Chains A and B, each alone.
Chain A
Amino acid sequence: MRRTLYLLAAFLAPTLGAGSSAASAQSKVVILSTTTSTQDSGLLDVLVPMFERTSGYSVKTVSVGTGQALALAARGEADVALVHASSLEKQYVADGKMHNRRLVMYNDFVLIGPAEDPAGIKGMAKVAEALKKVAGARARFVSRGDKSGTHVLELGLWKLAGVEPKGAWYIESGQGMGQTLVIANERAAYTLTDRATFLAFQQRVKLPILVEKDRLLLNVYSVMEVNPANGPRVNAAGGKAFADFMVSPATQAAIKSFGVSMYGQALFVPIAGKTEEEIGG
């Protein structure tokens, strides 16, 4: 019996120790609330160690949909947010929950679908009109349906198209971008995806790009600091350090070269210091 207890203690020590050491070094831990796309593309695996090395902070990355990422930040459960849903972001800034919104980078969304293109949208310049045709043809469309940045953008586009997406043709996956792409591929359906995830899934997903390069399809990421008033123990200094890091020249250079060796093209375009009007041309 005693031996069992010792064994137990031996297991407990390291696991629980990690918790208490995190508590004592509280101000050295930054909780970053971000979206799945930054994590799944592998970008954070490059940037986070860079930040930890130069700043001495250690980062806990919680990657969830943009909706949840912002909701957690608004409750003070994170110190800094890196997300991509400008309409939602502006709302949180206006409510005073988030501070100092700064643009970091963008990539773009593309509308993909079956090569047979039953709705006949290939090559259209206006994405909203393309969606209108998809709805008109009642062609299958897979939506994220998870309040992610991609989903928020998609809903905005349907509104612009004057269509309320509903019916058997409109499939809500409720899952991440990767899973949603796989579902769209299996069901030979249209879907809206960010280019980075689309490139990462080229081996598995055979749907071609049908509509791209509409300025409405720009996917802008920004970084925001959490208002310390949102909850107890918000690490405002750490959050600001991470936000500053994201827009620093060295980080912006790393973003610019990220993905080139793997996909032959960069996945993100750095835009620190610019405004939305400047990039939307």
Chain B
Amino acid sequence: MELIWDGIRQAFLLLLGMDREVLAITWLSFQIAATSTGLALAVGIPLGTLIALTRFPARALVVSLINTGMGLPPVVVGLFVSIFLWRGGPLGFFELLYTPAAIVIAQFVIAAPIVTGLTLAAVQQIPPMFRLQMVAIGASRGQLLWLLLREARLPMLAAVMAGFGGVISEIGASMMVGGNIRGQTRVLTTATVMETTKGSFDVAIALSVILLAMTFLVNYLLTALQQRRRPS
């Protein structure tokens, strides 16, 4: 117990004392998770909407694949992304392994199915009557799409939170494709594991507290946005 209090105290000292390494690690973690979530949104929202609104053969199969993808184990993603990015791998000539970009790629693979799946569910739960009504009062295709997304924005913000939460807390992929390199790819989760293996449990707890605080802050802002004006 004493250890946990020490850790929390240390977290404040590191943050208040503006420990440059910790600040840099925190900022990098946020940047990487925000970028990968952003990319996942850019792909997942259109894709999820498209699948929700169309009927095509093997649709059930595609939806099941996306739903399975929502639970992709990060270590599996890390392993496969590593193999692709290896110098000897198919994408080796980009020299991306052990860079932040590699972590962004892996986290994108983790977050994209989450965002797609939740968008799909969000758009699909809008009653079909709504679409008919909007078409009846003369909405164009573009307007209809916009109205549908507007209608689904509450559950879609949940998709953003789930995507961000999935990648900011993920460790297996960041460790494998990032390598936990000091000053380059060390993020909060990998640093926490490293400090634990080094036996610096107080620093590890401090890093966990910072990670939790950051995740809370992001979710708080998104929730505030989500709950700002409840649609009737």
B201 / chain A contacts, CB cutoff of 8 Å? 204
How far apart sit A29 and B60, CA to CA, in the bound complex (Å)? 47
Size of the chain A interface, CB-CB below 8 angstroms: 42
Looking at the assembled complex, report how far the CB atom of A98 sits from the nearest CB atom of chain B, in whole angstroms: 16
* Chain B interface main SS type: helix
**Which of A12, A63, A176, A231 is packed against the most chain B CB atoms within 10 Å?**
A12
A39, closest chain B residue (CB): B194
B-side contacts of A22, CB under 8 Å: 95-96, 99
Q: Is the CB of B87 within 8 A of A62?
A: no
- The answer to whether A60 and B35 touch across the interface, beta carbons within 8 angstroms, is no
Cα separation A75 to B197 with both chains bound (whole Å): 27
A61 adjacent to B182 (CB under 8 Å): yes
How far in angstroms is the closest Cβ of chain B from A215?
28
* Segment of A13-21, A125-133, A155-163, A258-266 in the binding face: A13-21
Q: How many residue pairs at the A-B interface have CB separations less than 8 Å?
A: 98
Q: Is the CB of A18 within 8 A of B182?
A: no
Min CB distance, A118 to chain B, in Å?
26
B34 at the binding interface (Cβ < 8 Å): yes
Of the candidates B88, B97, B184, B194, the one whose C-beta lies within 8 Å of that of A18 is: B184
- Please tell me the size bucket of the interface on B: 20 to 34
Q: Give chain B residues whose Cβ lies under 8 Å from the Cβ of A45.
A: 182
**How far, in Å, is A214 (CB) from chain B's closest CB?**
26
Which residues on A are within 8 Å of B, measured CB to CB?
4, 7-8, 11-12, 14-16, 18-20, 22-23, 26, 29, 31, 36, 39-40, 45, 60-63, 75-77, 175-179, 181-182, 200-201, 203-204, 231-234
Chain B interface (Cβ within 8 Å of chain A)? 31-32, 34-35, 38-39, 42, 86-88, 92-102, 104, 179-182, 184, 194, 196-199, 201
